[in-house]
């Protein structure tokens, strides 16, 4: 039996995501178990998801995923490399035979070659030399120049976000010597952050439409749309980010400089600049602009701000996640979990309270995620759903 893993955010789930699930299953067989490891309430771009992790996982299981598990918060808010490493570790532990990922190019062999070159120490040395020679050059820009010199046109694959993540997934597979086979599915519709017209708008476009009060049902499978309508009607959607921003700003202003210095990517003066900006600037956009340099990407600064506000430090995403939390499953997914019982290299958590028996690191990590969920729910219009501690009480959604 094939077990196909997908790394995802589903923010929100749309017809392009449905296509990836269906195409992966078509290639591997109808009996394939589809397993998604998904960012929780906060996503890799350094912001809150439009719907909670429980709603997004349920929507995915209603549309063809069999089992949805959470990528713990420190990995969800990591760089592309850390995000991919944590997610691949989870899928490996769950016994996945294949890793499916979206790609703008669909050029799997070229992406594999890029991954191999990026793991070569000589490539990293050449990138550092280029950055020394050109001090204003960012790491990504220097890497691009080095790869273009070595691989020519193939290096341009790293100009698209899904191809970049695909390369990171492949790197993680190689580094782990994983037995998972890679399955690249060519992406349909608009790119990740594109705002132009496309048959299938990007998740970014759909979020903008939701925040403007527009109907997105033409671009979302009906089974997922039923979940999202329910969340919208019951006031459980992140439509007004100003409420969340105010909470983040208040936390940032109360933190000492040592907290910013201990953040992931907080070295080389970045943490100190971010701390100064957080103490002085009136909005998150102003903080980011004040802390930005030519070598530091805005996405990195957004992740750092969120990590600081949520209590994440540089050491928490080291190694593998200490547990795998199930968010949603259908009957096929539940059957596969029973088959896995006690056989995974990372413990599987279906009842949140059991994480307290998995050791100090696991409990502390879960507590950070639960606290972050409490902050997330404070932006709900539904007063009843703002009650604290709900992450400790919520089990998987059975579809």
Distance CA 198, CA 201 (A): 5
Helix (H, G, I), strand (E, B) or coil at 95: coil
Q: How far apart are CA 317 and CA 310, in angstroms?
A: 14
- Rounded to whole angstroms, the Cα distance separating 98 from 229 reads 33
Angle between helix axes 80-93 and 161-176 (nearest 10 degrees) is 50
DSSP 220: S
149's tokens: 């010199």
From CA 22, how far away is CA 100, in angstroms rounded?
11
3-104+164-239+320-398: which CATH topology? Answer: Rossmann fold (3.40.50)
- pLDDT tens string, the chain, 399 residues long: the values are 899 999 999 999 999 999 999 999 999 999 999 999 999 999 999 999 999 999 999 999 999 999 999 999 999 999 999 999 999 999 999 999 999 999 998 889 999 999 999 999 999 999 999 999 998 888 888 999 999 998 888 888 888 889 999 999 999 999 999 999 999 998 875 554 444 444 788 999 999 999 999 999 999 999 999 999 999 999 999 988 887 899 999 999 999 999 999 998 888 899 999 999 999 999 999 999 999 988 888 999 999 999 999 999 988 999 999 999 999 999 999 999 999 998 999 999 999 999 999 999 999 999 999 999 999 999 998 899 999 999 999 999 999
Q: Which of 103, 160, 98, 54 is nearest to 396 (CA)?
A: 54
Query: Encoding tokens for residue 217?
Result: 């049902």
Where does residue 256 rank: exposed (0-12), middle (13-18), buried (19+ CB within 10 A)? exposed
């Amino acid at each position: 039996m094939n077990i196909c893993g997908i790394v995802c955010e589903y923010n929100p789930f749309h017809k392009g995501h449905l296509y990836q699930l269906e195409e992966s299953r078509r290639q591997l067989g109808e009996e394939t178990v589809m397993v998604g490891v998904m960012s929780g309430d906060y996503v890799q771009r350094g912001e809150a998801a439009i719907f909670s992790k429980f709603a997004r996982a349920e929507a995915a299981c209603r549309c063809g995923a069999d089992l949805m598990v959470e990528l713990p918060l420190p990995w969800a808010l990591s760089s592309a490399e850390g995000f991919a490493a944590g997610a691949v570790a989870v899928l490996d532990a769950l016994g996945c035979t294949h890793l499916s990922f979206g790609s703008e190019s669909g050029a799997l062999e070229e992406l594999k070659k890029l991954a191999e070159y990026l793991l070569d120490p000589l490539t990293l040395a050449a990138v550092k030399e280029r950055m020394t020679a050109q001090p204003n050059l960012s790491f990504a820009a220097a890497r691009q120049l080095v790869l273009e010199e070595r691989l020519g046109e193939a290096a341009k694959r790293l100009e698209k976000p899904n191809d970049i993540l695909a390369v990171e997934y492949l790197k993680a597979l190689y580094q782990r010597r994983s037995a998972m086979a890679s399955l690249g599915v060519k992406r349909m519709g608009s790119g990740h952050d594109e705002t132009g017209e496309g048959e299938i708008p990007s998740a970014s476009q759909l979020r903008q439409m939701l925040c403007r009060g527009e109907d997105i049902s033409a671009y979302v499978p009906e089974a997922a749309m039923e979940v999202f309508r329910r969340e919208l009607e019951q006031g459980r959607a992140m439509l007004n980010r100003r409420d969340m921003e105010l909470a983040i700003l208040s936390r940032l202003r109360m933190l000492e400089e040592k907290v910013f210095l201990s953040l992931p990517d907080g070295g080389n003066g970045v943490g100190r600049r971010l701390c100064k900006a957080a103490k002085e600037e009136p909005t998150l956009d102003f903080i980011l602009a004040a802390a930005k340099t030519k070598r530091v990407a805005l996405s990195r600064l957004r992740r750092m701000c969120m990590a600081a506000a949520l209590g994440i430090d540089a050491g928490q995403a080291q190694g593998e996640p200490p547990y795998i939390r199930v968010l949603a499953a259908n009957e096929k997914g539940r059957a596969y979990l029973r088959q896995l019982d006690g056989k995974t290299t990372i413990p599987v958590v279906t009842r949140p309270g059991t994480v307290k028996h998995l050791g100090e690191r696991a409990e502390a990590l879960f507590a950070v995620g639960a606290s972050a969920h409490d902050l997330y729910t404070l932006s709900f219009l539904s007063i009843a759903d703002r009650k604290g501690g709900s992450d400790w009480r919520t089990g998987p959604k059975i579809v």
